[in-house]
Each structure stands twice: as structure tokens, then as C-alpha cells.
Chain A
Amino acid sequence: MAKHATPMLDQLETGPWPSFVTDIKRQAEFRKKNQEKMNYQIPVDVCEDLLGILELSFKQGRTHWKHGGIVGVFGYGGGVIGRYCDQPEQFPGVAHFHTMRVAQPAGKFYTSSYLRELCDLWDFRGSGITNMHGSTGDIIFLGTTTPQLEEIFFELTHRINQDLGGSGSNLRTPSDCVGQARCEFACYDTQALCHDLTNEYQDELHRPAFPYKFKFKFDGCPNCCVASIARSDMSFIGTWRDDIRVDQKAVAAYVGGELKANAGAHSGRDWGKFDIQKEVVGLCPTGCMRYEGGKLEINNRECTRCMHCINVMPRALRIGLERGLSVLVGAKAPILDGAQMGTLLVPFISAEPPYSELKETVIEPIWDWWMEEGKNRERLGELIKRQGFGKLLEVTGFKPDPRMVKEPRSNPYIFWKEEEVEGGWERDINEFRKHHQR
């Protein structure tokens, strides 16, 4: 018998999708049985009380969670998020229910024994409920008590060789796509850059001094598997500046049907014969391709590296050889001003270690500007909107470039300053009147 009756939560399990209610009930059962005879450090019925308090909230239409807290581990201003409930007598198991953020391995490579270690630690000292790689990208441990925090931190850092991630007004746990480890489209080593910047900016990760959160995300190519363009204040997207490499023989093999388009990914239904004109050339967003007389041509100057043609015919088309990355800035999910995508700031920059150019000409000048000018709880994207893209160019020293403009009107105008214009704003009115009547 469950500790609390939860008819409203039970109803959530009846839909077509797997339900978190089912997962938490299973974990509640697991803790009660305790087959491994674990000496639980937090209440055994934490999961049942979690379900109970949620049911109560549903019934009353009000939350029983307080907001925020002073808890943390010594010297760190992030990585732990205090959560307390305001019904501790009724639900003692969740009187404290703190969240811990744990840095994930770059590229999310795990061994099963490492995963088991993480889970054992969390069963022992926490609720056992995890949220792996949600929109933060990191490992999230949900629900423990204040006395456990330092213990868990010690185990993580001394035994499991892992650090806490970022929360609050910090650099958040940087997050990357699998990159060159598995993916032929990767234009730079995302894991190396993610790891390097994580180590370089430890102080920014653990000691909050920013106006608000700041996220780095790394995508090896414009396919954007970690959606850096939509989810990070600074997004690093792999690109190339020479030409797409074309293997005409392989093009012919796609046309002839010997090679399957999209590596066979859409073969579940009969879409008919592969039509290169319709499915590749016709879908190129810049119209820069031509297929004539059995030959595929690309006007690389116009190509925006959207990846479409390469995704469809990966054996025939490959990323260029002169590789680096583009930096986009200012994406955020809605809080104050609505959702916003990243804006291109650096069209191409080297992605070779030690990444000095990236750190010194992009990351640090932007932080200096935002730390000084940003209002409390203002994201970088909002500051760019408030002070203008031109101001961002000024603080970084990059020159305005047509590639920064998506389209007139929806994209910020970049204004000239008086000293940049010959003759300034003043004119000789007498000279003017010689040509124009009043």
C-alpha cells in the first residue's frame, strides 16, 4: 500500500506516454524493499512523500515548495539548489529536497560502472531520483537533505573524480555534442573545447558574480545537436570556410539508388525514388546548387553551411577542410522578454588549443561588458537588445559584417558614429541652399 493515496497523480499514468509518476512509484517501491540492505542516509519514504505533496498541490491548486535557500558546499556559490517544503510534519521525507547539479562527462560518455557509482551514491545519500541531461545538459540529483551535501561533494570530488556543475548567477555547466568522437560532421573537437573552458573558467562556474546565468554550448557543426543556437548565451558552432568536398561518383550512386539517402534513415515508408533535384537542390535554402548533366555543382560563396545536402548524401558531400567555428551570442528561453535565438557575432575563428583568441577577443571582453552594464537578472541577449548590437561590436572590436544581418528591419541596424563619417553631422547650409530651395 502506498503511504499516500494519489488519485490525481494516478490519472497521469493513464496517458500514452511514460509517466514520471510511474518512475517515482517504482523508486518508492525500490527503497521500501531495500534488497541491497543499504543504510539510507535520508528518509526511506522520500519518494512517497514527494508524490504525496504533489497530490496535495494538485488538489489545492497551490505549491508547498519554498523558493531558494542558503545551502551549498563550502566555497561554492552554485551546484546546489536549496528546496524546502512548507508541510514538513505531513511529509517529513521531503522537508529538505535539495537539488545537486553534477558536471557530466564531455560528450556524455559513461562507462556502466561509473553510472552505477553515481546511482549508488545517490541511493545512499539522496532520493535516488535523477534527471539526466535535461535542458541544462548536466547530471541532476533531485532531493537530499542539508547534512548530506558536503558528504556527497566529498565523494564526488575525491572518489568519483567529478565536480559539481553550475547554477544561479554562474557560468552553467558547459555542454557539448558528441563531436569528433563519433561524428564525421564535426568541424572541431567539441569535447576538447568544452573541457578546456570548463577548467579555465572554474571561478566563473563556482563563484557567482554575473548579473544572471550564462551558458556555453558546443556544437560540432550546424546540425546543432545540443541546440546551442537556441539555448546558450554563447554558442560555438563548427563550420568551414573552404568548399564542400564533392565526390561525383558517390553523387551518381545516390541518384542511381545504390546509396540510400540520409543513410537510410527515412526508409520506413516508401517515398518513391530518390530525386536529387527535388530533395537536395530544390531544398537548398540559398539556391546555390545545380545538378546538370550528371554533375552536382555548388556555389560555395553563397552556401550558408546549413548541412542539408550533406545530411542527405553524406557519402558524396563532406565538410570542407579549413575548419573552425562561428560564435553566436544572446540566445535565451523566455523570462523577461520572450525567447530569442543567438545572433552571429564571429563568422569564423580558430578552434585549435589553447583557444587564446577565443578567450581573449570574444569571451572575456563580453563578460567584462555584461558584468558592468548588465542589470540584475538581465541575460546577455537582453543587454544586446537594450544597448544595441553596435555596442557589442564596439566592446569586442569586431567589424560589422553582412553575415551578422539576417534581414533588414528584424535585425538590429548598425549605426555609424559621427567620427566615422567624412564631414561629420554638420553641413554647410549655404552650400546646401545653392542646390535646394527652401
Chain B
Amino acid sequence: MEYEEAKQKIVEGLTKKLKTKSKFYFNDLAEILGEKPREAKKVINKLVEEGVLEYWSSGSTSMYGLTGTGKQAAAEHED
């Protein structure tokens, strides 16, 4: 899959769900892309690098979200 196409899929997919949640597991993203995890990882790494996605971590679990979205960012004055 082309990077731009993948990016569009992720941004659209996550935006659609924003009303109910803002943090997603890696596997949710792989599913949106319809790719196996190792392939999906390449695109997702790049999306983080470009600042489209950002990491969220509980300490034991990691999740991904569209940069600046979700309660945490607002509450922490970091958006």
C-alpha cells in the first residue's frame, strides 16, 4: 500500500471513531490498514515520525491516537 493511501485510511478510520474513543491499540490500526502487523508497523512508525499519530502509554500498555486528540491532551494543556 502506498504511504499516502495508508495515511488517509488511518486518519479517516480514527476520526470516524473519535466520538467514542481517542486511543487505539496497534492491532486496531493494523486492522484498519488490512495489513499483517509487520507490514503495518512500517507505516505506523512513519505516521508517528511525521506527527500524525502519537503514542500513549499506561506504563504497561501502549496505544496510539491522532496527535492532540482526546481528553488527556486537553487536561494536560499539551495540545
Contact = CB atoms under 8 A, between A and B. Distances in A.
Contacts of A203: 41
Given A70-B56, A371-B38, A376-B25, A170 B49 contact: no
Nearest to B65: A70
Interface stretch (A14-22, A78-86, A228-236, A265-273): A78-86
Interface string B44-56: 1100110000111
Given A70-B73, A146-B78, A169-B26, A209 B59 contact: no
Of listed A168, A203, A213, residue having the most chain B CB within 10 A = A168
Instruction: Label chain A's interface by main secondary structure.
Output: loop
Given A371-B37, A372-B37, A168 B26 contact: no
Interface in A141-171: 146, 167-170
Contacts of A211: 25-27
Contact of B57 (A77, A146, A207): A77
B76 interface: yes
B26 to A, nearest CB: 5
B58 A78 contact: no
B51 to A, nearest CB: 10
A216 B65 CA distance: 28
Given A84-B76, A376-B27, A69 B56 contact: yes
A335 B73 CA distance: 28
How many residues of B sit at the interface, in one of the four size bands?
Answer: 20 to 34
B20 interface: no
Interface string A59-83: 0000000011110100101101111
Given A69-B76, A84-B76, A210 B26 contact: yes
Contacts of A75: 48-49
A77 B45 CA distance: 10
A170 B62 contact: yes
A377 interface: yes
A168 B61 contact: yes
A209 B37 contact: yes
How many residues of A sit at the interface, in one of the four size bands?
Answer: 20 to 34
Given A207-B45, A208-B26, A371-B37, A81 B78 contact: no
B15 interface: no
B57 A68 contact: yes
B76 A168 contact: no
A70 B51 CA distance: 12
Contact of A209 (B44, B76, B78): B44
Interface string B14-29: 0000000000011100
Contact of A82 (B38, B57, B60): B57
A149 to B, nearest CB: 12
Given A210-B26, A371-B37, A67 B62 contact: no
B69 to A, nearest CB: 10
Contacts of A82: 57
Contacts of B72: 68-70
A68 B62 CA distance: 9
Interface in A344-392: 368, 371-372, 376-377
Contacts of B57: 68-70, 72, 77-78, 80-82, 167-168, 208
Interface string A190-220: 0000000000000100011111110000000
Given A68-B57, A78-B57, 5 more contacts: A68-B59, A68-B72, A75-B48, A77-B57, A212-B61
29 contacts: A68-B58, A68-B72, A70-B56, A70-B65, A70-B72, A70-B76, A70-B78, A75-B48, A75-B49, A78-B62, A82-B57, A83-B59, A84-B76, A167-B59, A168-B55, A168-B62, A169-B61, A170-B62, A207-B48, A208-B57, A209-B41, A209-B44, A210-B26, A211-B25, A212-B61, A213-B60, A368-B37, A372-B37, A377-B61
Interface of A: 67-70, 72, 75, 77-78, 80-84, 99, 146, 167-170, 203, 207-213, 368, 371-372, 376-377
Across chains A and B, which 3 residue pairs bring their CB atoms closest together, nearest first? A168-B62, A208-B62, A68-B58
Interface of B: 25-27, 36-38, 40-41, 44-45, 48-49, 54-62, 65, 72-73, 76, 78
